[in-house]
């Protein structure tokens, strides 16, 4: 079974609008962490935001926020006021507590976001 599911292979969004990228996950481990990465065409994976399974509040980092719904096992990324430079692939990833010591990250298939001027 897929541990990380990103159902949107591609999205087109008008500049300055907000965008939500979907991510659902599957784990039986009560302790886990969720990550979002951005991959521009240059190839480098850039860390955006982190949410821990025990965190009481949704994570925020500048224009990025994470809509964490634990009961639904979803961790959607919200980008406010999108910019042309936000055009990239976006990956959701999970680290489970049982992997402590080797930090294994499981990635989804990604969403290609294109911002339209």
Closer residue to another protein, CB minimum distance, 43 or 117: 43
CB of 15 to another protein, least distance (A): 27
Applying CB under 8 A, what is the total number of residues that bind another protein?
29
Question: Are the C-beta atoms of 94 and 105 separated by less than 8 Å?
Answer: yes
Q: Structure tokens of 27?
A: 């784990």
Q: Are 37 and 106 in contact (CB under 8 A)?
A: no
Burial (CB count <10 Å: 0-12, 13-18, 19+), residue 22: middle
- List binders of another protein among 8-47 (CB under 8 A): 31-33, 35, 37, 42-47
108 binds another protein per the rule CB under 8 A: yes
Of 88 and 93, CB closest to another protein: 93
Per CB under 8 A, the list member of 82, 87, 90, 110 interacting with another protein is 110
Instruction: Give yes or no for residue 70 binding another protein (CB under 8 A).
Output: no
Residue whose CB is less far from another protein, 78 or 105? 105
Name the 3-class secondary structure at 97. helix
The H or E element containing residue 30 is none
9, 63 Cβ separation under 8 angstroms: no
User: Which residues make up the interface to another protein (CB under 8 A)?
Assistant: 4, 31-33, 35, 37, 42-47, 50, 52, 91, 93, 95, 97, 100-110
């Amino acid at each position: 079974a897929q541990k990380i599911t990103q159902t949107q292979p591609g999205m087109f969004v008008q500049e300055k609008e907000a965008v939500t990228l979907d991510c659902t996950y599957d784990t039986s481990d009560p302790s886990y962490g969720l990550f979002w990465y951005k991959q521009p065409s240059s190839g480098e994976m850039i860390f955006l935001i982190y949410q821990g399974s025990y965190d009481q509040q949704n994570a925020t980092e500048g224009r990025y926020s994470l809509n964490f719904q634990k009961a639904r096992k979803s961790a959607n990324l919200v980008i406010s006021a999108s910019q042309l430079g936000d055009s990239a692939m976006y990956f959701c990833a999970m680290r489970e507590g049982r992997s402590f010591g080797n930090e294994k990250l499981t990635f989804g298939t990604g969403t290609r976001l294109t911002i339209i001027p």
